[in-house]
C-alpha cells in the first residue's frame, strides 16, 4: 500500500509547479486596443489561460531565472488560412485553391483543421456537399446545411500530410437548389467560408515553432482578414537617414514573404500586442537596438546581421536587421534582403506570383503562346447541373498595347448532352466582360474538338487577367421541375483539360498615363533605375503609407525599387516620381501637375459630404445616403422655393429629352453601326486636348492620379488621401486586391460603398520598352489606328484621293485622257 501511495503523493506535490499560470509558454493577455476584436484563442481543455481563473496571491520569493527560450504568446495557438475575410463559393459547382506556408516545426506539429461556413437558405442540404483537400488529400466532407448561422467543424490532420514550405488547400462546393430549376436560380446558391473561424489550430501549443531563417518569412501568413502586418520598429524612424532603409526592408520582406496583402506599420517603440499574421522587424544600428531590447544575438554583435531573434513580446520571432551605421545597414539590406529577389529589367519572368490566393501561379505571357487548361489549373471535369463555371488566370506585361486590335483564340475540347436549343450556350468572360458567346443548338448533344472561339484582346489588361468559361445547359426536364429535379443526374457538359488558349503576338509599347499598368505590373516604375518619392510630411504615418504602396508595387513588378526620399518637387529631377500623402499636406502647385485642382488641398478635407462611407458604417447610413442623393435629383423647382413650370414648359422639356425625329433616326443609325460593324459615332470624335483639373466627387476618400511631366517627360503618380488621420487605413484599403485592380485611366477616385470614378486620358504618350522592330511597330500602328478610327478614316480618305489624283496625272502623261 505504501508503495502505491508514493507515486500519488509525488504527483500531488508537483501540481502547483505545472499549473497553466506558471507554464513557461503561458503569457498574460495583452490589453486589446479599442475598436479591435480580441484574438480568438484555442487551448487544450485541461489548460485554460490564466486570465480565465481568479488570480491567487503569490508569496514573495526571489525571481526565477529567465527561461533560455522566451515564451510565445498564447494567441499564436492558431494559424488563419483564408486569403481574405471571406471566400465565396457560388453556383452549382465552384472551387477555390491557394497556398499556405509552414515552418518545419509547424509541419510536424499536431494540428487540427477548423472550418467555419454559412450558406444560402435555398441550398438543398441533402444534395450539397463541401469538400476540403490539403495537398490533394481529402480532409473533410460535410453537408452544406447551415443557413441560419455559422457552422463550425474541426478535424485532425494526419501526421506526414503537411510539409515544410508551400502547402495547398482546396475548397470544393457542390450545391443544388431546393425547389427552382431555372438558370436564374443557380445565381442564388452560395457558401461563404469565414476567415475568423477557418484556421489551423495547435492541439499542443507547446509545439508552436519559431521562424529561423529568411526562407521562413512566408510562414508568417495572414490574419483573419487576409492581411499581413509588417511592423517595422526603428528607433530613428522619424529621421531622414532611416527612410530609404525602411522602404527597402518593407519591399524585401513583402517580396520574400509572398503575402497577398501586406500593410506596413512603422514605429519607434515595440508593439504592445502581437497576433498571428503580424511580423515585427527590428531595424537600426547595433547601439539603437541594444537600447531598445537589451542584448542582441552573438552574431549581431560583431557587425551586420539579418536574421531572427526571440523576444517574449514579439511572437514566434522578430526579424533583426542591424549594422554598425546606417550606411552599413543600406549595404547589408541590399546584399542579404533585397538582392536575392532583384530581377533584371531586361529579363521577362515566366510567372506572376498568385499562389497566396490562387494556385497555380499565373503564367506571364510576353509573346505569342499557347496555354493548355491543364497548365492553368483547370482539370477535366463533368457537370450535371444547369450552369458550370471554371476560372483561369494569366498575366500580361506592363507594355501590353492591344486595347483595340487583335484576337486570342480558345480551342475548346468538350461535349454536351441533350439541351434546350436557344437557351443553351457557352460564354467566355474576361475580367468580368462578355468576350464571346457560342450557342448550343444541337438537341441531341455534340462534341467539341479543338473548336475555335475568338476572344478580342481589348478585354485584357496589363497584369492579372481572369478568364471565366461558363456553360449554360438547361434541359427539357427543367421545364416541368418535378420533385427531385434539382438532384444530380445525367451529366450535361464535359470540359477537357486539353482545351487551349492561344495568345497571338501583340503590340508592346508603354502608354502613359495608364494607372492599369501601374496596378498590374508596376509599370513604368518596374523598368526604371531609381524612383523619387515625395511624401506629404516626413513622419511615421506618411512613411508607413508610402511603404505599403511600394510593397504592393514591388510585388506586382517582382522586383524591389531603388527609392530616394526627397523633400520637395524641385528635387525630383529627371526621374519618375511617386507622391503619397494627405491633401492638406501637399505643397501648392503640385496637384495641378497630376491633373487635380489645387484648391482641393483646402476644400476637400473640410468639405461636409452627405456621407463618407467607411467599412464601419452601418447599413442604414448607406441606405440613407442613397435615398438622399435620389431625392436630391428629384427635387422640383417649387420645393426649392422657385416657381412651378407651366404646362408648355414641361411639354417642351419632355420633347427636348427625346431630341426630335431627326435625333431618333440618328440614334437608331448609330445603334445599327454598333451591331453590324462594331463602330459608333463616338469613335469618330477626335480626342480633346483641353486640360481639365479634377475635383473629387462626393464620398471620395482617395485619388490616384497620373500624368507626364511636360519638362522631363517622366511619369508622376500621386496617391492623395482626403483625411490626414485616416492616411494609413485608407491606403490599406487601396492595396486590397479588389480595389487595387480597379485602378485605370489617368485618374481613379475611390469611394467607399460606391463605384470608383475613373477618368480616361485625354492624350497619351508612348514609352519605348523594347528594341525597335518593324513587326512590333506595325502592330502598334494598327492598334493606334483602331483606337483613333476618325483619324484612320481621314487617312484612308486622303490616301484614296491621292491615289485618284495620281492615277489621273499618270493617265494624262500617257495620253489616254478621255
* Residues paired with 625 in a beta bridge: none
Question: CATH: 3.40.50.2020, 3.40.50.300, 2.60.120.260, 3.40.50.2300. Which one for 78-207?
Answer: 2.60.120.260
Alpha-carbon 147 to chain mean position: 28
Three-class SS of residue 242? helix
pLDDT at 139 over 80: yes
pLDDT at 343 over 60: yes
Rounded Cα–Cα distance for residues 551 and 351 (Å) = 19
pLDDT score at 479: 86
Higher pLDDT, 151 or 21: 151
Higher pLDDT, 756 or 306: 306
Q: Cell 497548365 appears where?
A: 375
pLDDT at 613 over 70: no
**Contact indicator for 789, 521 with CB cutoff of 8 Å:** no
pLDDT score at 788: 77
Long-range CB pairs of 295-304, under 8 A, 24+ apart, other chains included: 296/320, 296/322, 303/328, 304/328, 304/329, 304/331, 304/332, 304/336
Least confident of 264-268, 427-431, 555-559, 604-608: 604-608
**DSSP state, 646?**
P
Of the pLDDT bands very low, low, confident and very high (cuts 50, 70, 90), residue 688 is low
Span 216-222, average pLDDT: 94
Strand extents, DSSP E, 457-562: 463-472, 493-495, 500-503, 510-512, 531-535
* Residues paired with 401 in a beta bridge: none
- Could you check whether 78-207 and 214-341 share the same CATH topology? no
Least confident of 340-349, 630-639, 729-738: 630-639
Q: Which residues contact 318 (CB under 8 A, 6 or more apart)?
A: 279, 280, 281, 282, 308, 309, 310, 311
Q: Which of 294, 228, 291 is nearest to 263 (CA)?
A: 228
Q: What is the mean pLDDT of the chain?
A: 83
Terminal-residue alpha carbon distance, the chain: 137
pLDDT score at 19: 36
In tens, the pLDDT along 383-397 reads 999 999 999 999 999
Dihedral angle over CA of 526, 527, 531, 536, nearest 10: -40
Instruction: Using a pLDDT cut of 70, give the percent of the chain over it.
Output: 80
pLDDT score at 151: 95
**Contact indicator for 334, 340 with CB cutoff of 8 Å:** no
Span 611-617, average pLDDT: 44
In tens, the pLDDT along 111-130 reads 999 999 999 999 999 999 99
pLDDT at 778 over 80: yes
pLDDT at 15 over 90: no
Span 295-306, average pLDDT: 81
Q: In this structure, are strands 531-535 and 563-566 parallel, antiparallel, or unpaired?
A: parallel
**Contact indicator for 176, 487 with CB cutoff of 8 Å:** yes
* Residues paired with 486 in a beta bridge: none
pLDDT at 10 over 90: no
Please give the CATH number for the structural domain made up of 512-608+691-766. Answer: 3.30.379.10
pLDDT at 51 over 70: no
Q: Structure pTM?
A: 0.81
pLDDT score at 141: 95
User: Cis omega before residue 513 (within 30°)?
Assistant: yes
Q: Cell 450535371 appears where?
A: 384
pLDDT score at 786: 82
**Contact indicator for 261, 735 with CB cutoff of 8 Å:** yes
- Cell numbers for 793, please give them: 478614316
Of the pLDDT bands very low, low, confident and very high (cuts 50, 70, 90), residue 418 is confident
Rounded Cα–Cα distance for residues 279 and 231 (Å) = 6
Q: Which of 701, 679, 680 is nearest to 753 (CA)?
A: 701
Strand extents, DSSP E, 135-224: 137-143, 151-156, 165-174, 190-194, 199-202
**DSSP state, 754?**
S
Of the pLDDT bands very low, low, confident and very high (cuts 50, 70, 90), residue 312 is confident
* Residues paired with 453 in a beta bridge: 410
Query: Which H/E stretch holds residue 288?
Result: helix 286-293
Rounded Cα–Cα distance for residues 787 and 46 (Å) = 70
Every domain of the chain and the residues it spans: 78-207, 214-341, 351-505, 512-608+691-766, 772-813
pLDDT at 651 over 60: yes
pLDDT at 5 over 60: no
Query: Which H/E stretch holds residue 668?
Result: helix 660-677
Please give the CATH number for the structural domain made up of 214-341. Answer: 3.30.379.10
Query: Which H/E stretch holds residue 293?
Result: helix 286-293
Question: CATH: 2.40.50.140, 2.60.40.10, 2.40.30.10, 2.60.120.260. Which one for 351-505?
Answer: 2.60.120.260
Least confident of 532-546, 579-593, 789-803: 789-803
Count of Cβ atoms closer than 10 Å to residue 721 Cβ: 28
Amino acid at each position: 500500500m505504501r508503495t502505491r501511495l508514493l507515486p500519488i503523493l509525488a504527483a500531488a506535490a508537483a501540481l502547483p509547479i505545472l499549473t497553466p499560470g506558471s507554464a513557461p509558454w503561458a503569457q498574460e493577455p495583452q490589453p486589446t486596443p479599442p475598436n479591435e476584436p480580441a484574438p480568438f484563442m484555442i487551448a487544450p481543455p485541461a489548460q485554460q489561460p490564466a486570465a480565465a481563473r481568479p488570480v491567487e496571491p503569490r508569496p514573495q520569493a526571489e525571481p526565477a531565472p529567465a527561461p533560455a527560450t522566451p515564451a510565445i504568446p498564447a494567441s499564436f495557438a492558431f494559424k488563419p488560412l483564408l486569403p481574405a475575410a471571406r471566400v465565396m463559393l457560388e453556383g452549382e459547382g465552384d472551387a477555390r485553391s491557394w497556398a499556405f506556408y509552414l515552418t518545419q516545426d509547424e509541419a510536424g506539429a499536431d494540428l487540427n483543421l477548423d472550418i467555419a461556413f454559412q450558406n444560402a437558405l435555398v441550398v438543398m442540404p441533402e444534395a450539397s456537399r463541401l469538400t476540403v483537400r490539403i495537398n490533394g488529400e481529402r480532409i473533410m466532407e460535410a453537408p452544406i446545411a447551415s443557413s441560419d448561422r455559422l457552422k463550425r467543424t474541426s478535424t485532425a490532420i494526419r501526421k506526414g500530410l503537411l510539409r515544410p514550405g508551400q502547402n495547398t488547400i482546396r475548397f470544393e462546393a457542390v450545391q443544388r437548389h431546393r425547389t427552382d430549376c431555372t438558370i436564374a436560380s443557380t445565381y442564388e446558391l452560395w457558401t461563404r467560408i469565414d476567415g475568423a473561424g477557418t484556421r489551423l489550430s495547435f492541439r499542443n501549443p507547446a509545439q508552436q515553432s519559431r521562424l529561423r531563417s529568411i526562407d521562413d518569412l512566408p510562414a508568417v501568413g495572414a490574419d483573419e482578414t487576409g492581411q499581413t502586418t509588417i511592423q517595422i520598429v526603428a528607433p530613428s524612424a522619424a529621421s531622414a537617414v532611416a527612410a530609404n532603409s525602411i522602404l527597402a526592408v518593407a519591399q524585401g520582406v513583402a517580396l520574400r514573404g509572398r503575402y497577398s496583402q501586406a500593410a506596413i506599420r512603422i514605429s519607434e517603440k515595440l508593439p504592445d500586442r502581437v497576433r498571428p499574421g503580424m511580423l515585427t522587424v527590428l531595424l537600426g544600428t547595433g547601439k539603437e537596438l541594444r537600447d531598445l531590447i537589451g542584448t542582441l544575438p552573438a552574431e549581431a554583435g560583431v557587425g551586420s546581421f539579418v536574421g531572427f531573434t526571440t523576444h517574449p513580446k514579439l511572437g514566434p520571432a522578430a526579424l533583426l536587421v542591424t549594422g554598425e551605421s546606417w550606411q552599413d545597414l543600406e549595404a547589408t539590406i541590399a546584399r542579404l534582403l533585397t538582392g536575392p529577389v532583384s530581377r533584371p529589367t531586361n529579363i521577362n519572368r515566366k510567372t506572376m506570383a498568385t499562389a497566396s490566393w490562387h494556385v497555380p501561379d499565373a503564367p506571364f505571357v510576353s509573346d505569342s503562346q499557347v496555354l493548355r487548361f491543364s497548365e492553368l489549373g483547370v482539370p477535366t471535369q463533368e457537370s450535371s447541373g444547369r450552369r458550370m463555371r471554371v476560372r483561369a488566370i494569366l498575366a500580361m506585361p506592363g507594355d501590353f498595347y492591344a486595347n483595340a486590335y487583335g484576337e486570342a483564340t480558345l480551342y475548346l475540347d468538350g461535349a454536351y448532352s441533350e439541351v434546350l436549343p436557344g437557351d443553351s450556350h457557352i460564354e467566355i468572360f474576361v475580367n468580368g466582360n462578355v468576350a464571346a458567346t457560342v450557342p448550343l443548338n444541337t438537341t441531341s448533344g455534340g462534341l467539341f474538338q479543338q473548336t475555335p472561339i475568338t476572344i478580342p484582346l481589348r478585354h485584357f489588361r496589363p497584369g492579372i487577367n481572369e478568364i471565366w468559361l461558363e456553360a449554360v445547359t438547361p434541359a427539357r426536364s427543367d421545364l416541368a421541375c418535378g420533385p427531385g429535379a434539382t438532384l444530380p443526374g445525367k451529366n450535361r457538359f464535359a470540359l477537357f483539360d486539353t482545351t487551349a488558349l492561344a495568345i497571338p503576338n501583340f503590340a508592346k509599347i508603354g502608354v502613359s498615363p495608364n494607372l492599369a499598368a501601374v496596378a498590374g505590373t508596376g509599370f513604368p516604375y518596374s523598368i526604371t533605375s531609381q524612383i523619387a518619392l515625395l511624401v506629404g510630411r516626413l513622419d511615421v504615418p506618411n512613411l508607413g503609407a508610402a511603404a505599403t504602396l511600394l510593397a504592393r508595387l514591388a510585388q506586382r513588378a517582382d522586383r524591389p525599387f531603388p527609392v530616394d526620399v526627397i523633400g520637395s518637387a524641385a528635387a525630383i529631377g529627371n526621374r519618375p516620381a511617386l507622391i503619397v500623402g494627405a491633401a492638406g499636406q501637399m505643397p501648392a502647385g503640385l496637384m495641378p501637375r497630376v491633373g487635380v485642382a489645387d484648391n482641393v488641398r483646402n476644400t476637400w478635407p473640410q468639405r461636409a459630404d452627405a456621407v463618407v462611407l467607411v467599412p464601419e458604417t452601418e447599413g442604414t447610413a448607406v441606405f440613407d445616403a442613397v435615398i438622399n442623393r435620389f431625392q436630391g435629383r428629384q427635387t422640383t423647382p417649387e420645393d426649392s422655393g422657385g416657381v412651378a413650370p407651366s404646362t408648355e414648359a414641361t411639354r417642351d422639356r419632355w420633347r427636348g429629352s427625346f431630341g426630335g425625329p431627326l435625333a431618333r433616326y440618328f440614334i437608331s443609325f448609330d445603334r445599327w453601326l454598333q451591331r453590324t460593324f462594331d463602330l459608333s459615332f463616338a469613335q469618330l470624335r477626335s480626342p480633346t486636348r483641353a486640360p481639365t483639373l479634377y475635383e473629387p466627387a462626393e464620398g471620395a476618400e482617395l485619388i490616384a492620379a497620373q500624368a507626364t511631366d511636360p519638362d522631363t517627360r517622366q511619369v508622376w503618380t500621386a496617391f492623395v488621401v482626403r483625411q490626414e488621420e485616416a492616411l494609413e487605413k485608407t491606403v490599406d484599403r487601396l492595396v486590397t486586391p479588389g480595389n487595387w485592380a480597379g485602378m485605370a485611366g489617368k485618374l481613379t477616385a475611390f469611394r467607399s460603398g460606391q463605384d470608383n470614378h475613373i477618368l480616361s486620358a485625354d492624350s497619351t504618350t508612348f514609352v519605348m520598352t523594347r528594341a525597335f522592330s518593324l513587326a512590333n511597330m506595325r502592330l502598334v500602328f494598327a492598334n493606334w489606328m483602331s483606337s483613333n478610327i476618325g483619324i484612320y478614316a481621314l487617312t484612308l480618305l486622303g490616301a484614296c484621293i491621292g491615289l485618284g489624283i495620281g492615277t489621273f496625272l499618270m493617265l494624262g502623261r500617257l495620253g489616254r485622257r478621255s
